[in-house]
């Protein structure tokens, strides 16, 4: 099952208006968002509870409760593995060692997320078709 933040990033370009505003808030504040009720998230993201629920449906969750559960589990897993949730942005003032560390961290995170998207059975079927 794909996690909440990956789904948000995958479907972000499909979101518009209030749904996109909700997604932006969640992506910038995942830990805070995971503790909010649908009404609180709507208030904090300057949207409505119905926009929050629509966004959840658009990214293939059954509703806000399902989305929130997935987000909470994802955050707990990241905390357990010590993974840093926020990507540090590269700044003009960064030295070369910091830039290397930040680029490596982003690449590692990208590879980890790609691995989560992989479906072994689908890959097997593709290999069979190619042979």
Q: What are phi and psi of 11, to 5 degrees?
A: -100, 5
> How far apart are alpha carbons 58 and 37 in whole angstroms?
19
Tell me the C-alpha to C-alpha distance, in Å, between residue 113 and each of 35, 102, 107, 126: 23, 17, 10, 21
Mean pLDDT, range 82-98, rounded to an integer: 71
The top-scoring range by mean pLDDT among 63-67, 79-83, 85-89, 124-128 is: 63-67
Domain boundaries, the chain: 1-86, 88-131
- CB neighbour class for 81 (10 Å; exposed up to 12, middle 13-18, buried from 19): exposed
Task: Match domain 1-86 to its CATH number in 3.40.50.11540, 1.10.3660.10, 1.10.10.10, 3.50.50.60.
Answer: 1.10.10.10
Confidence band for 80, pLDDT divided at 50, 70 and 90: low
Model confidence at 85, pLDDT cuts 50, 70, 90, reads very low
Residue 90 has pLDDT above 90, yes or no: no
Residue 99, pLDDT score: 84
């Amino acid at each position: 099952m794909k996690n909440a933040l990956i789904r948000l990033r995958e479907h972000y370009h499909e979101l518009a208006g209030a749904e996109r505003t909700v997604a932006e808030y969640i992506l910038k504040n995942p830990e805070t968002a995971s503790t909010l009720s649908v009404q609180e998230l709507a208030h904090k993201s300057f949207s409505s509870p119905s926009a929050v629920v629509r966004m959840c449906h658009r990214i293939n969750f059954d509703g806000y409760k399902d989305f929130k559960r997935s987000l909470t589990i994802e955050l707990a897993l990241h905390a357990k593995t010590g993974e840093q949730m926020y990507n540090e942005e590269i700044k003009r003032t960064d030295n070369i060692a910091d830039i290397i560390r930040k680029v490596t961290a982003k690449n590692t995170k990208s590879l980890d997320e790609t691995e989560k998207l992989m479906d072994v059975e689908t890959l097997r079927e593709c290999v069979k078709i190619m042979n």
